[in-house]
A and B are shown apart, each in its own frame.
Chain A
Amino acid sequence: MMGAGEVGGAATLVTVAPDRATPRRAHWFRQPALMSGLIIILVIVGLAIAAPLITSYNPIVQNLNDTLQGPSAHHLLGTDQLGRDTFTRLLYGARVDLRVGFIAVLFPFVLGTVLGSLAGYFGGWVELIVMRLVDVVVAFPFYVLLIALVFVLGPGEKSIYIAITIVGWVSYARLVRAEILVAKRQEYVLAAKSGGLSSLRIMGRHLLPNVISQAIIYAMSDIVQDILAIVTLGYFGLGIPPPTAEWGSMINDGQNFLTTHWELTTIPGLAVVVVGLGLSLIGDGLADLLRPGQS
């Protein structure tokens, strides 16, 4: 029976209530911000995945005969001081930065959402402990704490994840807690309680779906921040260890040649800007799409 419902669902809704049911589901692709953001990110992700097909150079192997060349037919964006093709390193760098950025956002998202909902829903000492922890983390500037943590843990991908989780979960916790505080006073929560549902179920099935959109939207901008953080760490030599291609270390390497070869710094910098723009557009588009009570 449910099988029939699943199949017929989308099509039949249109016939039942064309004026109310359709805008939300059918027109998401008409959101210009969301669409342009998605296109930008998908193109970059596609380029990163297809890197070995697009370029025949190796991003790591040095070629000291061809150092610091300007753009040419052989090297689209020139080469760096070790003779490595900049375009190739840019593509392979996207693989690292995007992967680390997306993964690094997941841990704080999950941790912050769980702790934030517990704090908001139960209040009392749970809230006290969680929010004091938040205060401790917030007391430090983001980068100071991040750099200190990565410094202590040692460079590498794992340290980046741990450090970003420790620093980043607080934003999600605050956001979700505030949303839950408002949402838990809604009558549907009282109705769910009256239906004999457990607190865990009310939180997971009734409250979170109503408040999570804000956290998802924030996560989009948080990926930008995480990629910037990774790039910054790479710039300080604390990120992904060389010789792996990564935008931050590319910017760092290039700054020695800023007067003669400005493109070595500018091009990976632009790549960061474009990714940031794309993700922000997705965040904006999602915000419009998921805004509660939009119907």
Chain B
Amino acid sequence: MSGPRAEEPAVTGSATGPVLEVKDLHVQIATRRGVVHAVDGVSIEVPRGEAVGLVGESGSGKSMTLRAILGVLPGEAKITSGQVLLDGTDLVPLPSSSLNRIRGPKLAMIFQEPMSALNPVMRVGWQIAEGPMVHLGFSRAKAAERAVELMRRVGIPDPERRFRAFPHEFSGGMRQRVMIAIALACDPEVILCDEPTTALDVTIQDQILRLLARLCRESGVSLVFVTHDLPVVAQLCQHLAVMYGGQIVERGPVHDVFARPQHPYTLGLLRSAPDVEEIRDSLVPIPGSPPSLISPPSGCRFHPRCQFAEDDCQTTVPPLRLLAGGRATACLHHERCDEVLEAEGATR
């Protein structure tokens, strides 16, 4: 996003610059119908202690990117090129035994469905305590103590008692708090969140987001937050990257992107989402459907659905160009977005 920053709070050491950096990541899935380019040249920088939102519709490669970062891709998917740098160490070529020392103590993940991501027959306290026991060499008693402390920190009432409960005895929001406690258990530097609030209702969603934001502030952990819910990003993240068809089409500081999107897809996303603050005449859906990732459209992948598409969009693959203010867009005609926004401002 914004490169090395000078005003970083010194939380996890003296190192400045992004804690996690994904460089030109490609993930391919071999299927019977052909090779799916699920992630196609994605680059992300995650500054220390900040949250990066990764937004896009279903099948745009968000979750694949997360799983590739963590090295837990499904069997058929493979990283074909690119780097995942955590504190400068490339994780891609590491064998799983070395990765197992990084997953947990440095990188953790929170899943979308807290019920299925918790072991149904293991007491939640021990699920939280397992990480410290395995990675930090804690004794059972010490790990249990740590688990209770974590449960208190994520706002589970009466943690000593709830330690011995099973996941099915918790509500959805409490389960997600347990997931967060598990992710925090070994004090990771980055937590990858795969739509952690999608399965929750709105009030609980808000509580979980506030909790994540607070933890982010308190412990200096960085977040990569995958979602298709734009208001969630606005609430939690400092940076935003928009994915379309396995590529990043726009990125930048979250409020700048929301105020002045520089890619027609981002513009379309913003207009297709309802907004409480501002009552629009109508929600404008993006016409068409997401591109095939086996044989993607030529040129810009968005051009068949784009209102600004011109002839060159069909032939030229648009690079992700840097703009002022730490922003970047992959649209050849991004000025058109400004024109539309100005025209709208004039009519209102």
Contact = CB atoms under 8 A, between A and B. Distances in A.
B120 A190 contact: no
Contacts of B162: 16
Interface stretch (A35-43, A45-53, A174-182, A192-200): A192-200
B153 to A, nearest CB: 16
Instruction: Name A's interface SS.
Output: helix
B72 A196 contact: no
B169 A192 contact: no
B119 A210 contact: yes
A91 to B, nearest CB: 40
B113 A197 contact: no
Nearest to A188: B119
Nearest to B148: A1
B148 A196 contact: no
Interface string A1-38: 11011001100110011001100000000000000000
Contacts of B295: none
A99 interface: no
B116 A188 contact: yes
A12 B160 CA distance: 10
Contacts of B23: none
Contact of A295 (B119, B163, B168): B168
Contacts of A13: 161, 164-165, 169
A195 B108 contact: yes
Interface in A188-217: 188, 190-198, 201, 205-206, 209-210
Interface in B159-200: 160-166, 168-169, 179, 182
Contact of A194 (B70, B116, B135, B144): B70
B215 interface: no
* Most chain B beta-carbon neighbours within 10 Å: one of A1, A186, A191, A201: A191
A293 interface: yes
Contact of A187 (B70, B100, B116, B140): B116
Interface residues of B, number: 41
Given A16-B158, A191-B109, A196 B103 contact: yes
Contacts of A193: 72, 103
Contacts of B131: 195-196
Contacts of B111: 187, 190-191
A21 B134 contact: no
A167 B328 CA distance: 66
Interface in B122-164: 122, 130-131, 134-135, 140-141, 144-145, 148, 158, 160-164
A288 to B, nearest CB: 16
Contacts of A9: 164
A71 interface: no
Given A2-B141, A187-B117, A210-B121, A12 B168 contact: no
Interface in B74-130: 99-105, 108-109, 111, 113, 116-122, 130
Contacts of B140: 2
Contacts of B145: 1
Contacts of B135: 196
Contact of A17 (B102, B169, B182): B169
A197 B141 contact: no
A156 interface: no
A191 B144 contact: no
Given A2-B144, A4-B160, A191 B165 contact: no
A70 interface: no
B72 A194 contact: yes
A243 interface: no
B23 to A, nearest CB: 22
Contact of A209 (B101, B105, B121): B121
Interface of A: 1-2, 4-5, 8-9, 12-13, 16-17, 20-21, 186-188, 190-198, 201, 205-206, 209-210, 292-293, 295
24 contacts: A1-B160, A5-B160, A5-B161, A8-B160, A8-B161, A9-B164, A20-B168, A21-B169, A187-B111, A187-B116, A188-B117, A188-B120, A190-B117, A191-B111, A192-B119, A194-B70, A194-B104, A195-B131, A195-B134, A196-B100, A196-B103, A197-B100, A206-B119, A292-B121
Q: Which 7 A-B pairs have the closest CB atoms?
A: A196-B103, A196-B104, A187-B116, A194-B109, A196-B100, A191-B117, A187-B117
Interface of B: 70, 72, 99-105, 108-109, 111, 113, 116-122, 130-131, 134-135, 140-141, 144-145, 148, 158, 160-166, 168-169, 179, 182
